[in-house]
Every structure is written in structure tokens, then in C-alpha cells.
Structure 1
Amino acid sequence: MEKNNDDVIARKMTLDDLDEVMDIENKSFTTPWSRNAFITEVGKNTLAYYVVAVKDKKVVAYGGLWFVVDEGHITNIAVHPDYRGLGIGNVIVEELIRVCEERKLSRMTLEVRKSNNIAQSLYKKYGFESKGIRPGYYQDTKEDAIIMWKELR
């Protein structure tokens, strides 16, 4: 399903999106996922769902979910550096929430770096609440992750 938010469209990610997704991934993370990881997630993992945000026919952001029993676990969200601060992260989060609600899941969860205040603010805006810490969760820096949850019903 496509969701249009002004001039940004959210839609399901396909393997054809991977060149642009990998560009965003490599520019966004110090330890990026491999192309093969995305191929597996998008092409083979039946418990995964990935979306992209498209602006002017260019993939400018993406996000992913894993379906775990009755929960949606947000695996990753990234916005191309040239498009940050434009509200495109909102489009991704809204689409992931919509997918979980459509599937009648009970709740959503995610981990976010303790230092990533921008992402935490985005998630809080959509009703995610801090519920715990995973010490040393991020392998690259050993930074703690904040565990956030959102109840859907």
C-alpha cells in the first residue's frame, strides 16, 4: 500500500530499491548492514516488512519491522543526510505504525542509541515510551540502547 504525505510517498521496499537504500545505510551508520542482509530481509524473510519514502522519484529514507508474535519490532530507520529535518522520518514511522495496526498487532518496540535524542523525540511523538536499557547494545561503540514500547490496543 502507498501512503502519500505531500510530496513524499511511503511504499513497500523492493529489491530494486537496494542501491539507494545501501547509499542511505552507508551514509547513516558506522556499522552498516550488508547488501546481502537487506536482500534476505526484503526477499526471503516472511516475518520482515520494509518500507521506503520516495521524494521526486528518489528513495530518501527507509525503515523496517520484524513481526514477532503479536508485536512489531522496528529494526532500523534511516533518512538520507540531504533530506534530514524535513519530516521524512515521520512518514516512515507513520507507515510502520499503520502496517502494525493493519495486522492488528498489540504493541511495537525498538532500541535506540542513548545519545540519539532526535530519534528518541521522533518516537516519543508517536507514543513510544522508554521502558528499559540494554547496556553496551551497540557493538561499534558499546553504547547503551534505550528500549522503547508503544501499545497499539
Structure 2
Amino acid sequence: MWLHVRPATRADRTAILGLIRSHRRSQMALDWWSLEEWLDSPHAWVVERVGQVVAFWLGILADSPVAWLRGAAVADGEDASALFRQIWPHLADALAAQGAEAVVGMADGAWLEPVYEALGFTLRTRVITLRKEDRRLPALPPASARIRPALFSDIPRIAEVDRQAFEPMWWYGPTILTRAWRQVPHFLVAEEAGGIVGYTFADLYGMHGHIVRLAVHPAHQGRAIGAHLLAESLRYLIDLGAFPITLNTQIENQASQALYRRFGFRPTGHEVAIWGRPVKDG
């Protein structure tokens, strides 16, 4: 039956939201963006079948050579791999034109994994969720860094810490950090000798507290800076009565998991697969 692949527009908002809300195969993780901000951009694409939107795919590129696929939906009864195979060349061209060298995507649920595999993606890692259900905090050695609220003027230095602490697929650059700083309720930095050496921020979803980010510059790791940042974020959430409190980390990141276990976090069993590939073949 006739298919038409085209960029998504703001006029598609209702149809896209209908796909997300009314069909089983959908995934959205826009963080501090809204869907509307990405419609009419070259990164959002739909497939129409006889005038009806049956698939949607969105890639986001911000301050990194690695783009993230953050929105995907397909109508019930449709062949997801076939439809996303129609979108992929257009989305890849759009992301490459914006400077993307690689692309990664989450598969929170099994339906997207065969789609990624069919398009030449490979499994990069799995992200696990850990949950804290008590109010206890461990004893810590004296802090070697001053912990204080982040200022807007700190954003460039925070971005540099992030770039040193993570590989490119995980980078939070100034664009993302600025949005987070403006929207989350709790954002801290660790400072030594006038320089920022670490940071963290937390968010609330109703009364569910979530530690979104915790990073320490590699040259300053091993001195309990991350532990003090985590403790201050947890105090904030606990004092608000947040429950539960969660955070995410890569399944292979044993050092971070050891820190989180000290603070009473335990794996929930929920895992999200992360798939990736170069934007262009060859």
C-alpha cells in the first residue's frame, strides 16, 4: 500500500501523540525538551500510509558528535523494521548534515531491538536502574571540595568536567546543561581552588526523586568528591519526602555501582539496551 516518508511538522503533533498514547510500540525520552520543539526540524520524520501517520522517529543532536534517537512510535499491526528502514536514510542524512558522526538509541522494551539490528546497529551497553528506599546516609571522610549550588556562569566549566568524565555518547554539553539548570530543582557543583571538579543534579517526577547526573573530573576521582555530591543531593530529596529515589548507570560501571551500594541503592532489575552505529556506512 502507498507509503510516504516526509519530515514531521507541527501539524502532525496530534497524530504523533496519538501513536504514542494509543499504540503499544512507542518510546519517548525527550528529557528537557518538548515534542513541539523538534517538529518542523530536519531530525523528526514520519511515515504516512494513505494520509495517516503510521510511524514516527526523532533524532536529537546537541553538543556532541553522537546523536540520540529519543522518540519512536509505530502503529499496531505495522512492520516496524520495514517502516523505520524507510525513514533511516533520510534521518541519517539530516543528522550527518548537522555534524553527527554516530547515532545511538535506547530500546526500552523488546520491540525496537530487531529494528536496530536490521539497520546495522550493534548493542553498545545496557543501562540499569537502581533504587533507594531508606533515608540512611553513610559516614563520609571530610570533604576535600566545597559543594555549592551551580550558577549559570558555571555551565562552560561543568561541560568541560562532563567531557572529561564520559565518552562522547554520554556527553552533556552547554545546550543540555543549560536546559537542565533552568528546569531541575537541585543542581550542585564541587569546587577546589576556584575550579569546578564535579557536579550533580536531581529531578522530581511527582514525589519520585531521581539523581540524573553525577560526574567528577578523572584527575580528582578517588577523593570522595562524588560521594559528597551524592550525599547532598540525597539530603535534598529525602528532606522533601521523595520516594522512591532512583538513578541509572551502565551495567559494566562497577565503580559507580559500588558507590551507590554504599548509599543503599539496589538494582531494580530494569535494564534498557543501548544500540549504536556510525551515521554513514563505511
TM class by shorter chain equals 0.7 to 0.9
> Secondary structure, in 3 states, of the residue corresponding to 2:200?
strand
Q: Letter of the 1:33 partner, please give it.
A: Y
Name the structure 2 match of 1:109. 246
Percent identity, aligned pairs only?
Answer: 21
Aligned to 2:175: 36
What residue number does 1:19 align with? Answer: 156
* Matched residue, 2:257: 120
Matches of 1:140 and 1:85 in 2, distance apart? 31
Larger Rg: 2
**How far apart are the structure 1 equivalents of 2:172 and 2:221?**
20
TM-score by length of 2: 0.45
Paired residue total: 134
Q: CA deviation at 1:7?
A: 3.5
Tell me how far apart the structure 2 counterparts of residues 65 and 7 of structure 1 sit (CA, whole Å): 22
Please give the alpha-carbon distance, in whole angstroms, between the structure 1 residues aligned to 2:268 and 2:186.
Answer: 24
> Is 1:71 aligned with 2:222?
no
Q: Deviations over 1:120-153 (max 9, x none)?
A: 00000001111113231x4559xxxxxxxxxxxx
Task: After TM superposition, list the pairs within 5 Å mapping 1:42-81 onto structure 2.
Answer: 42-43=181-182, 45=183, 47-81=184-218
- Give the corresponding residue for 1:133: 270
Contact 2:188 2:229 (8 Å CA) reproduced? yes
**Which residue of structure 2 lines up, in the alignment, with residue 149 of structure 1?**
none
* RMSD, aligned CA: 1.7
Q: 1:91 to 1:39 in 2, by over 3 A?
A: same
Once residues 135 and 75 of structure 1 are traced to their aligned partners in structure 2, the CA distance between those partners, rounded to angstroms, is 15
Per-residue deviation, 1:48: 3.8
Report if the CA contact (8 A) 2:144-2:225 is conserved.
no
Deviation, structure 1 residue 69: 0.9
The 3-state SS of whatever aligns with 1:115 is: coil
Gaps of 5+ in 1: 142-153
CA distance in 1, matches of 2:276, 2:212: 17
Give runs of ≥4 in structure 1 deviating > 4 Å: none
Partner residue of 1:83 out of 220, 227, 236:
220
Deviation of the 1:82 alpha carbon: 0.6
Deviations 1:39-92 (A, max 9, x none): 11112x1x4421111122211100111111112111111100110111111111
Distance in 1, Cα, partners of 2:228 & 2:222: 12
Q: Residue 143 of structure 2 contacts residue 225 of structure 2 at CA under 8 Å; is this kept in 1?
A: no
* Pairwise CA distance, 1:101: 1.5
Distance in 1 (CA, whole Å) between partners of 2:155 and 2:180 is: 11
